[in-house]
Structure 1
Amino acid sequence: MKQYFYALTLLFSITLQAQLKSPAEFFPNYGKQVSYYYQLENYFGYLIQNSGMVVHKPYGLTNQERGLNAYVISTPENLKELENIRLNHLYSIGMGGKQVNVADKAIVWLSFNVHGNEPAAAESAMSVAYELVNPKNAATKEWLKNTIVILDPCLNPDGYSRYGNWLRDISGKEPNPNASDREHMEPWPGGRQNHYAYDLNRDWAWQTQVETQQRIVLYNEWMPMVHVDVHEMGYNEPYFFPPAAEPMHDFITQGQKDFHNAIGEMTAKKFDNQGWNYYTRERFDLFYPSYGDTYPSFNGAVGMTYEQGGIGAGRAITMANGNTLTLQDRINHHTTAVLTAVETASWQKDKLVRNFRAYFKDSRENPKGKYRTYIVKNSGKNEELALLLKRNKIQFAYADESKKLTGYHYQSDKDKEFTIEPNDLIVSANQPKSVLTQVLFEPAQRLTDSLSYDITAWALPHAYGVESYALKKDLAIKTKAEVSRKGKFEYERVYAYYVPWNGRASAKVLSLLFKNNIKVRSSRKASAFRGIKVSPGDLVILKGDNPQINNFKETMNALLDEKPDYEVIESGFSLSGADLGGESYPLLEAPKVLLLSGNSVSPTDFGQAWFYMDEIIDYPVTIVDVQNLGRIKLSDFTTIILPDGWYEFSDSQKTSLDGFINDGGKVIAIAGALNIFEDRAGYSLTRFATDADKDLEAKEGDEEALNARYYDYQNAERRAISGSVPGAIVENVLDKTHPLSYGLGDRYFSLKTTDSRYQLLKNVWNVAYVPSGYKNFGFIGRSLKKKLENTVTFAVEQKGTGAIIYMVDNPLFRGFWENGNLLFSNALFLVD
């Protein structure tokens, strides 16, 4: 009887699979209209229910509480052994797991739609999944015998939904291929980014966003051998697939390059048969480590970007060549290309497995970089750095003894003697994540081609503003797993609480204190109390300032619980410096913050400021679209944040802003927002310090124009980058006495991403500026490099009883420049 029941069940299962519906059969409008996100989830739910070849791996939720999902696709036999395959795979590369007697498999991860307004990616994910499990597709069944496919159909559900819902709202019955139709003019902020308007495709290594953080947990549980990142680009572009372009990072291996070539040859044959346009080896490089192709590459995988023309195409668009590109066309191209990647991985399985294991063995035994050990001196910023390392599964420890050493000093860019002390953070290149470790910590990365797609420097010691050293050898020293914290000083009475200003945790605590109506003072002078050295910027909460708190001690201990380096001060009388009640400890004002958004504001730069306020420091902010600025009372606020953008304020709007500043308001203007104040009467912001400087640059420009008469056409793009900086680390001198510089260290290394520059300004505080002979890391164009000398990066101008903080560089860039987060906190809370 049992055998009969089993036979019936098996027959019923086979019948269901034979009748499996394609996306076009499941959705009446598939390929004609963008799907709702719930429809995409429903289709994968349907596949799970009707195929024995799919396992659902939910891995989290977005900010807007949409599900983040991955689906493991393989043969039923492989899925039965799935956990053993995973554990054995991790064991083989030294990342935990356990040795299990199972056959090796190629592990392929497919990522779709990290950019929400590139919908053909998510749409094609359904077609790819269907073809992999389609009972009538004998070829894919052969591929899956030795392949595990992990398919993430939408990395950015919030952005995808924003775009799709908008397109549905404005769609007519038939698509309008005319580029002038509103179907092709997506409104601000667009669907490209996530909820906080972050570009998730730049966040793989930094993991500032909740989507990335949750995804990388699952990624590290699998460590795929191949990663395909599926995108769209401008709709007039042909299809791009590997091989990638230069510059390729020096750590990209020959095995990874060989697979790129193999995939290129295979995919080209498929596209040639269809007569589809494509290109390879152009534009999309493998250098910046936080992309969906490079991050997997530095984790041993063959990382690849696939790009289909389609952004702005809506449902159909007339291209420059006169042809009409439909959503279905885009789906077809992606489906063919991605399935070819799975096919190639399948027939190259043995080579992939061999190369992947060799990658981890070789990189651990023979690190590719110049240095083998990285040492970060103990500071308040190390907690965030340690969190980043943990998220990336980079192993580290803390020194448990002192030792004199000589090593490369990041801040001075030269070798230097130093002493490693207990609690200093140690990262060794001798570990499974050796390559990623070195990519993130190496002081400089060699560019094989200066035409880079993204920033060219990112060394963590500069990003975090932490004094750091690198050694060319392994370090033998006693270590411990956690920081040892000294006990609190004993005290008889509570006069005040002291909180060091040394990282984002300090700003978050100040935010919490303000939200609880606690009055807080900030030090303006180095002072000493019993056992406590107070530095400029450090916070002091006086019991006498807060008589409304009945249980001062218990309340403060609770509020400061997440800042364990706080101390109690028994007396306001200093041993040196200034007493707590003096003018060197002014009261801070809790800012009432207005953040501008909307048309004329860069969505990603707005998002970085919003994310900073909402998530990094958790402080209330009022967000107003630029077009509604005239409807609010600026006097209701004390601080206005102007993110980067291309503002076109009317005269009346400028007058209102002038009055706000003159009456005591503070404006934080970032990058393009500086144009509002440049060369305006009453402001000191101007590009040139003297007319002679202005004339000199004009003369140089005339000479360049004359020389250009002899230039060839072919190298125009390369010549243009001589005056550009796609993203380089630049040394800045600090006025350490100004509140804007508190806690930043002796030097500030800024991430410069534009050629914008202003010579040192008159009648302002030039708090951070690029000195003559400055140190820099990454690419800066030859003609621009000299011009950056003696230019200001961050300045404060007093006007009336208010102030404008000029930020030529964006300190909040992508949220990973941790010292920039602290600098912005200074601007928000400490600068008056």
Structure 2
Amino acid sequence: MKLWHQLVIFCLFCSMLAQGQPSKASDYLPKGLTFDATVPTPESVLGYPVGQWHVRHDQLVHYMTLLAKSSPRVSIDEIGRTHEQRPLLMLKFTSKANQQRLDGLKEKHLQGLVEGDVEDAPLVIWLGYSVHGDEPSGANASMLVAYYLAAAQGKEVEALLEKAIVLIDPSLNPDGLSRFAQWANMHKGQNLVADKVHREHVQAWPGARTNHYWFDLNRDWLLLTHPESRARIAQFHQWRPNVMADFHEMGTDSTYFFQPGVPSRKNPWTPDANVTLTNSLAKFHAAAFDKTGQLYFTEEGFDDFYYGKGSTYPDALGSVGILFEQASSRGHLQDSVHGPLAFPDTVQNQVLTSLSTLEGALENASALKRYQQEFAQDTLKLAREDEVAGYLLTEAEDMSRMRALLAILKQHQIEIKGLSKDMEREGKTFLAQNSIFIPLEQPNYRLIKSIFSTRTSFEDNTFYDVSNWNLPLAFNIDYAPVERRFWRKLPLTDTVPGFMQTPLTLQQNAYAYVFSWQDSQAPRLLKALLDEGVQAKIASTGFSAQTTQGNVSLKPGAIILPKGLKQPGDWVEIIDRQARTLGIPVWSVVTGLTEQGSDLGSRKMLMAKAPKVLLVGGESTSQYELGEVWHALDLRLGIAASLVEVERLAKIDLSQYSHVIMVDGNYKSISEQISKSLEQWINAGGVLIAQKRAAKFAADKDWLKANFLSKEDINSAFDFNNLIYADKENLKSRQDVAGAVFEAELDLSHPLFFGYREPTLSYLRDSNLIMRMPNRPFVAPSRYTRAPLKAGYASEEIQRLIASSANVVAHNVGKGKVIAVVDNLNFRGYWYGTSRVLSNALYLASFIDAEG
């Protein structure tokens, strides 16, 4: 019996599954198979059938480890650890003989990406499950698929394993999966409750979709902010799979989706041949569901545009990424418009499409392998025909920011060159010690074009996610394209600068020690020193200090560590150790007199204080944005912030906090008592940092002296005449801003922008919240330019409304400050260019002195 015939029987069985709870793994798998009795079944290890309870990640790891020990078809690696130290696994399934020569087969596959005969190379299929923790059907199904590959007997399975290597990532988000398993299991009774309002189906904030820091890991494949993504990308480049399947869940009232997605929303750098192969594989999924009579859909709702998702990142590199979306029971049983949806049914469908993926990939093996080779050849041709040969990047002051960008590029296997000498380009100086060149003539051409894109017009203006993710703009790195005709004049070298500043030897008994605020790690160094008892002052103006290395000019924000303050006995050793750890040079100052600017004892030098931060969260706030701030404070700045839900604010003594941070959310339900407490706290000296709708809330309370455009103001910018019902979706996309880059002009003399060098800055904007330019001086240190759209999509109407409006407003309120921002400063943890504003708001707010 051929594998496809087995699947037909399997599908017929699936349609009857809902009639009873599966009691064993074979109930989920094709009928007529026998299984190796020495390989443990999932139920024999778990103590219950898959689907009866939600599997915890530790149980998943335990089962997969036993599977690898018991079957010669399986090998397993721990490829990394999550923030919560859960192991990330990669299982490799192939025949026993292939396992003995796995490295050689992998090398043969990789060689075939470029040249040679690919027919004898193995087909590599990657199955990745449950990147969202509360979409658990995939991770639970992974045990059944793994058992099938490890234990199923027969010529068809053996033929698959002889010709292919199947990689299984059983849980893309172990921390989120574990949170959700605990939530679902703790609310399960002997009698399942299908009612949608039952607590099992309504997770408590912040929910389990996200990872430890509340990030959506399915947006992190390109950005690599988290260890889960970094481990996964390393594996992707080791294997470069032909097919990469990504198993998700969606709303309970949905059916089942598999790609292709919306045809007009394909990334323009993805070849049409990718869609052709996706359609070929889709026929196998459709046939499987046709046999069961289940509902499904394609080519709507989901797109293939953003290269930072699990089903689209592969498309940029010659693999075929496939997104699967199963209607979610969000627990064990839930009512839907199609009737009660049981958790075992959702698991069954993920098993079904996992096996149809294997079947379809095997049937299309030759086409898939040829496609990867043709993709590489076509990519090289595109690169050679491109008028742009590559990009020059430079950063002279903030080495840490440049290193962070380079780390991402290197993990994506992007080739980087250095310069053997300084050069001029379009009026800019590119110093060899501070510059790199990224050539386009390399295998990752399409990915590079994507991450340097400044495109602003698109065939379809509706986006499932962001419309731009330009990395140099995100990192605020100066760059310039290099035309092909100029390329050969570049003084290129394989030696790439390390972007590490030379540590300086501290002179004992110096009058003071100073370091610049220009490096984005400077706030972390300041916090580390304050934590160890070192006293510091912050300069409000620039000055020139006499040091053992000569005269050094320092810009506003510089940190002074004077001997004349009460310092710990080993303070010089503390400074030296912490500065070397973070790679920031510290100068030894010989006198308090300065040749230019204020002397070191000036009243313009304020005492530095470690911020005591309260983060406001809860049901009405954005877990994503709060997680981004928490991540920035914790991992970038070394600040231990207190997380408090909105409803608990009434019981909190705010006087013990220097800063309160409120992110995007709906704050209309905040009680008058809480509002009064916040207002009194601000007037007494507190600093409120309000982002997006939190800024609008502050304005509504009259703490922030700024006005916002109303919904009616925005609507009035659009012409509604002659619209038909079919125009509704397009109108909405024109009224929204879906992740586009906007440019603003900065007041570099303002404390919020100490450490910035250029007078413009790129912000990531993902809302149509618009703050009018205040008519008071000194309160709006950042405002959008007259032509603000830099990259991504925004309608002309929205662009006109945003142009010249304020996006940062800061002023006094009593003895305190309110700092309002209408953009997301820490977007997805990688928008380094604007995250510095948060650092400045925490340490430099005392310098702000403007009346609102």
Give me the TM-score of the superposition, normalised by structure 1: 0.90
Give, in whole Å, the separation in 1 of the partners of 2:118 and 2:780: 65
List aligned pairs for 1:56-135, cutoff 5 A. 56-93=76-113, 103-135=120-152
* Cα deviation 1:769-807 (Å, max 9, x = unaligned): 113233421111233221112221111121011001101
**Structure 2 equivalent of residue 713 of structure 1:** 725
**Structure 2 equivalent of residue 9 of structure 1:** none
List aligned pairs for 1:217-296, cutoff 5 A. 217-245=234-262, 246-296=264-314
Give, in whole Å, the separation in 2 of the partners of 1:488 and 1:172: 62
Give, in whole Å, the separation in 2 of the partners of 1:771 and 1:575: 37
Structure 1 residues 25, 591: CA separation in 2 closer, same or farther (over 3 Å shift)? Answer: closer
* Cα deviation 1:578-626 (Å, max 9, x = unaligned): 3222244322222111112222222111111111111111112222222
Deviates more, 1:370-379 or 1:793-802: 370-379
Counterpart of 2:342 (choices 317, 322, 326) is 326
Give, in whole Å, the separation in 1 of the partners of 2:571 and 2:448: 45
* Cα deviation 1:386-405 (Å, max 9, x = unaligned): 12222222221332301233
* CA deviation after TM superposition for structure 1 residue 359, in Å: 2.4
Counterpart of 2:577 (choices 558, 561, 566) is 558
Counterpart of 2:780 (choices 755, 766, 772) is 766
Counterpart of 2:221 (choices 178, 188, 204) is 204
Deviates more, 1:352-361 or 1:201-210: 352-361
Structure 1 residues 107, 91: CA separation in 2 closer, same or farther (over 3 Å shift)? Answer: same
8 Å contact from structure 1 (residues 84, 102) kept in 2: no
Give, in whole Å, the separation in 2 of the partners of 1:743 and 1:35: 48
Counterpart of 1:428 (choices 412, 420, 439) is 439
**Structure 2 equivalent of residue 812 of structure 1:** 826
**Equivalent residue of 2:640, what SS?**
coil
Give, in whole Å, the separation in 1 of the partners of 2:156 and 2:213: 42
Do structure 1's residue 827 and structure 2's residue 841 form an aligned pair? yes
List aligned pairs for 1:675-824, cutoff 5 A. 675-681=696-702, 683-687=704-708, 698=712, 701=715, 707=720, 710-744=722-756, 745-763=758-776, 765-824=779-838
What is the letter of the counterpart of residue 591 of structure 1? P
Do structure 1's residue 525 and structure 2's residue 541 form an aligned pair? yes
Structure 1 residues 606, 544: CA separation in 2 closer, same or farther (over 3 Å shift)? Answer: same
Structure 1 residues 425, 831: CA separation in 2 closer, same or farther (over 3 Å shift)? Answer: farther
* CA deviation after TM superposition for structure 1 residue 377, in Å: 1.3
Counterpart of 1:455 (choices 466, 473, 492) is 466
Unaligned runs of 5+ in 1: 1-13, 407-415, 689-693
Structure 1 residues 102, 528: CA separation in 2 closer, same or farther (over 3 Å shift)? Answer: farther
8 Å contact from structure 2 (residues 506, 576) kept in 1: no
Structure 1 residues 42, 683: CA separation in 2 closer, same or farther (over 3 Å shift)? Answer: closer
Give, in whole Å, the separation in 1 of the partners of 2:428 and 2:832: 26
**Structure 1 equivalent of residue 496 of structure 2:** 481
**Structure 1 equivalent of residue 28 of structure 2:** none
List aligned pairs for 1:492-507, cutoff 5 A. 494-507=510-523
**Structure 1 equivalent of residue 21 of structure 2:** none
Counterpart of 1:669 (choices 671, 685, 690) is 690
* CA deviation after TM superposition for structure 1 residue 543, in Å: 2.4
8 Å contact from structure 1 (residues 506, 563) kept in 2: no
Give, in whole Å, the separation in 1 of the partners of 2:571 and 2:651: 42
Give, in whole Å, the separation in 2 of the partners of 1:532 and 1:137: 76
| Percent identity of equivalent pairs | 26
* Cα deviation 1:482-537 (Å, max 9, x = unaligned): 34767667887623323222343222212211211222222322333344221122
Give, in whole Å, the separation in 1 of the partners of 2:250 and 2:502: 56
* Cα deviation 1:303-327 (Å, max 9, x = unaligned): 12111111x5321222113x22211
Give, in whole Å, the separation in 1 of the partners of 2:492 and 2:331: 60
Give, in whole Å, the separation in 2 of the partners of 1:640 and 1:433: 43
Structure 1 residues 680, 467: CA separation in 2 closer, same or farther (over 3 Å shift)? Answer: same
Structure 1 residues 780, 700: CA separation in 2 closer, same or farther (over 3 Å shift)? Answer: closer
Give, in whole Å, the separation in 2 of the partners of 1:15 and 1:151: 22
8 Å contact from structure 2 (residues 500, 583) kept in 1: no
**Structure 2 equivalent of residue 399 of structure 1:** 419
What is the letter of the counterpart of residue 155 of structure 1? L
Give, in whole Å, the separation in 2 of the partners of 1:73 and 1:698: 58
Deviates more, 1:583-592 or 1:783-792: 583-592
Counterpart of 1:595 (choices 615, 633, 636) is 615
What is the letter of the counterpart of residue 671 of structure 1? K
Give, in whole Å, the separation in 2 of the partners of 1:36 and 1:143: 30
**Equivalent residue of 1:771, what SS?**
strand
* CA deviation after TM superposition for structure 1 residue 162, in Å: 0.6
Do structure 1's residue 386 and structure 2's residue 401 form an aligned pair? no
Unaligned runs of 5+ in 2: 1-32, 847-852
Give, in whole Å, the separation in 1 of the partners of 2:147 and 2:569: 65
* CA deviation after TM superposition for structure 1 residue 659, in Å: 0.7
Counterpart of 1:349 (choices 353, 356, 365) is 365
What is the letter of the counterpart of residue 521 of structure 2? A
Aligned residues: 795
**Structure 2 equivalent of residue 8 of structure 1:** none
Structure 1 residues 158, 341: CA separation in 2 closer, same or farther (over 3 Å shift)? Answer: same
What is the letter of the counterpart of residue 714 of structure 1? A
What is the letter of the counterpart of residue 736 of structure 1? L
Counterpart of 1:193 (choices 183, 205, 210) is 210
* CA deviation after TM superposition for structure 1 residue 33, in Å: 2.5
Structure 1 residues 781, 775: CA separation in 2 closer, same or farther (over 3 Å shift)? Answer: closer
**Structure 2 equivalent of residue 691 of structure 1:** none
